């Protein structure tokens, strides 16, 4: 020990510095297991400090398990397992692009910072103390009430505050529902094919068996549902993702009747029901059968995914099970919930949606007219949502090479093919083009660059 250099950190107190130095020496292998440390008297003399300081430091290191002090034996170094060198930090969200035409997110620069901060300020000054404690796992009553009213008004959802379950994002809600059906049902859920691949992954992670059902321009092919033996069907009724169609009226009726007859639940992913440009949004499917449909809404497309705020409207028979699953697992910060309730009640959410809807409508028009000149792309005609789907009509071109060419110009694109279930043989090829993600002041430039790349390929 006398040869061991103990560098004492001068910014710490004497005792803390001594402890840190010994811990460091043990961890980096300079002091190995079983080594007898000097007596407290000797070390105190060496370091020029009081013996009490060394005794206190040794006591602490014994309590922490770095040193062993057994009766009748000298104090010595215990076994300590040094950590591996940490890996380099990487970004698990994948590549970023100067101009990102991938769908799925609103323009983050459009987030209503001032309005949100105003709501936060109100909550922090007005909310009772109990918002800082454990909360009702269904969500704060103030938010559930605001959402019940908001959903009825904007989406025709039939909701009572006791039906609303706040969740930290749609994906968390989907996972909870999947778990519930794995535990209490057959563990099989019918899904649209194509659909957002990420949602398939989430369902599989919680043990769900996926049953893909084909989609056409009128949404889910309800004629294919007979005999499926599933617990639930996951459907985007207002605006199918990625193909873009709304579920046709007669299919809505048929879907609900099939679900009633077979006692199957409908999970309505109403992710972007607020965004329709040619007419008022079609009301939620849930309104046709509130006891049969779990309606799922989210703040991720209207405000931002960073808020981690979404909500389910749950039929009575499922409520206690959903509540119990969520109670044991999740939770959304109460302050954020109350801020959203305030934003809704002040009308600020409605105003924000109107503003961004007008902006996205302009962008869609610009994108549509730009792409009209690309002869090998066939645009979907649906006037809804935050994306356009363009089918590839030129057999010589493939998605991968288009996406790669765009990436070299730092343009982000997403292909249609990955949205199909693995076993599906007939896959349309194309691009799913998001209009929302790019900051407003860069959209025109981004579109020019995108068109330049596409024209260079034709």
Which of positions 382-441 make contact with a second copy (CB under 8 A)? Answer: 439
* Residue 273 lies near a second copy (rule: CB under 8 A): no
At which residue do the structure tokens 């330049």 appear? 452
Is residue 370 within 8 A of residue 451, CB to CB? The reply is yes
List the one residue from 129, 226, 278, 422 that touches a second copy (CB under 8 A). 129
**What is the Cα 61 distance to its own chain's centre?**
42
**Residue numbers 57-116 binding a second copy by CB under 8 A:** 60, 62-66, 68-70, 78-84, 86-89, 91-93, 104-105, 108-109, 111, 113, 116
* Residue 377 lies near a second copy (rule: CB under 8 A): no
Only segment of 43-51, 249-257, 354-362, 398-406 that touches a second copy (CB under 8 A):
249-257
For the chain, the maximum distance between any two Cα atoms, rounded to a whole number of angstroms, is 91
* Residue 267 lies near a second copy (rule: CB under 8 A): no
Least gap, CB of 455 to a second copy (angstroms): 30
**Cis, bond preceding 242 (omega within 30 deg of 0):** yes
At which residue do the structure tokens 């799913």 appear? 432
* Residue 250 lies near a second copy (rule: CB under 8 A): yes
How many Cα atoms sit within 13 Å of 56 on the Cβ side? 12
Beta bridge partners of 164: 313
Only segment of 56-64, 367-375, 400-408, 426-434 that touches a second copy (CB under 8 A):
56-64
Least gap, CB of 456 to a second copy (angstroms): 30
* Residue 157 lies near a second copy (rule: CB under 8 A): no
Q: Tell me the residue length of the chain.
A: 458
Only segment of 208-216, 279-287, 352-360, 363-371 that touches a second copy (CB under 8 A):
279-287
230: left (phi over 0), alpha (psi -120 to 50) or beta: beta
Q: Which is nearer to a second copy, 169 or 242 (CB)?
A: 169
**Residue numbers 15-44 binding a second copy by CB under 8 A:** 23, 27
> Nearest 10 degrees: CA dihedral of 431, 435, 439, 445?
70
Binding mask 292-321 for a second copy (x = CB under 8 A): x----------xxxxxxx-----xx--x--
Q: Closest Cα partner for 211 from 236, 235, 199, 228?
A: 228
Only segment of 131-139, 375-383, 397-405, 443-451 that touches a second copy (CB under 8 A):
131-139
Q: Which is nearer to a second copy, 359 or 391 (CB)?
A: 359
Only segment of 46-54, 327-335, 381-389, 401-409 that touches a second copy (CB under 8 A):
327-335
| CA distance linking residue 23 with residue 31, whole number of Å | 9
* Residue 168 lies near a second copy (rule: CB under 8 A): yes
- The crossing angle, in degrees rounded to 10, of helices 197-205 and 170-184 is 40
Least gap, CB of 67 to a second copy (angstroms): 8
Binding mask 172-211 for a second copy (x = CB under 8 A): x--x----------------------x--xx--x------
C-alpha torsion sign, points 115, 116, 118, 119? positive
List the one residue from 35, 156, 366, 410 that touches a second copy (CB under 8 A). 156
| CA distance linking residue 170 with residue 311, whole number of Å | 7
Q: Which is nearer to a second copy, 49 or 287 (CB)?
A: 287
Binding residues with a second copy: total (CB under 8 A) = 105
| DSSP secondary structure string for all residues of 81-123 | -PPPPPPPP--TT----SEE--SS---GGG--HHHHHHHHHHH
At which residue do the structure tokens 């005609």 appear? 381
List the one residue from 154, 298, 302, 325 that touches a second copy (CB under 8 A). 325
**What is the Cα 112 distance to its own chain's centre?**
20
* Residue 221 lies near a second copy (rule: CB under 8 A): no
**DSSP at 303:** I
**Residue numbers 337-376 binding a second copy by CB under 8 A:** none
């Amino acid at each position: 020990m006398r040869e061991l250099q103990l560098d004492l950190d001068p910014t710490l107190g004497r005792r803390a510095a001594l402890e840190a130095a010994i811990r460091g020496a043990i961890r980096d292998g300079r002091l190995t297991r079983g080594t007898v440390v000097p007596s407290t008297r000797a070390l105190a003399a060496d370091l020029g400090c009081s013996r009490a300081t060394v005794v206190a430091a040794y006591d602490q290191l014994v309590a922490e398990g770095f040193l062993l002090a057994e009766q009748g034996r000298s104090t010595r170094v215990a076994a300590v397992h040094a950590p591996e060198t940490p890996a380099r930090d990487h970004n698990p969200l994948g590549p970023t692009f100067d101009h990102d035409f991938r769908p799925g997110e609103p323009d983050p620069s459009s987030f209503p910072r001032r309005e949100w901060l105003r709501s936060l300020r109100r909550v922090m000054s007005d909310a009772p103390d109990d918002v800082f404690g454990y909360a009702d796992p269904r969500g704060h009553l103030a938010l559930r009430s605001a959402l019940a009213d908001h959903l009825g008004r904007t989406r025709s959802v039939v909701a009572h505050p006791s039906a609303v379950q706040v969740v930290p994002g749609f994906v968390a809600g989907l996972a909870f529902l999947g778990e519930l059906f794995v535990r209490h049902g057959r563990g099989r859920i019918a899904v649209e094919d194509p659909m957002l691949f990420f949602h398939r992954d989430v369902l599989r992670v919680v043990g769900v068996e996926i049953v893909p059902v084909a989609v056409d321009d009128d949404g889910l092919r309800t004629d294919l549902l007979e005999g499926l033996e599933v617990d639930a069907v996951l459907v985007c009724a207002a605006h199918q993702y990625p193909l873009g169609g709304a579920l046709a009226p007669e299919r809505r009726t048929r879907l609900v009747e099939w679900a009633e007859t077979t006692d199957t639940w409908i999970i309505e992913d109403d992710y972007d029901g607020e965004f329709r440009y040619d007419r008022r949004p079609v009301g939620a499917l849930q309104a046709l059968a509130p006891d049969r449909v779990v309606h799922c809404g989210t703040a991720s497309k209207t405000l931002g995914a960073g808020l981690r705020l979404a909500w389910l409207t749950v039929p009575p028979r499922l409520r206690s099970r959903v509540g119990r699953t969520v109670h044991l697992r999740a939770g959304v910060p109460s302050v954020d919930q109350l801020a959203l309730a305030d934003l809704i009640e002040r009308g600020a959410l409605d105003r924000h949606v109107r503003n961004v809807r007008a902006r996205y409508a302009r962008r869609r028009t610009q994108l549509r007219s730009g792409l009209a000149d690309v002869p090998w792309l066939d645009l979907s005609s649906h006037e809804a949502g935050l994306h356009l789907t363009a089918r590839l009509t030129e057999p010589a071109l493939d998605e991968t090479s288009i996406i790669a060419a765009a990436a070299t110009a730092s343009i982000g694109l997403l292909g249609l093919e990955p949205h199909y279930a693995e076993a599906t043989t007939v896959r349309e090829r194309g691009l799913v083009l998001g209009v929302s993600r790019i900051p407003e002041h860069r959209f025109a430039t981004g579109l020019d660059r995108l068109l330049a790349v596409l024209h260079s390929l034709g």
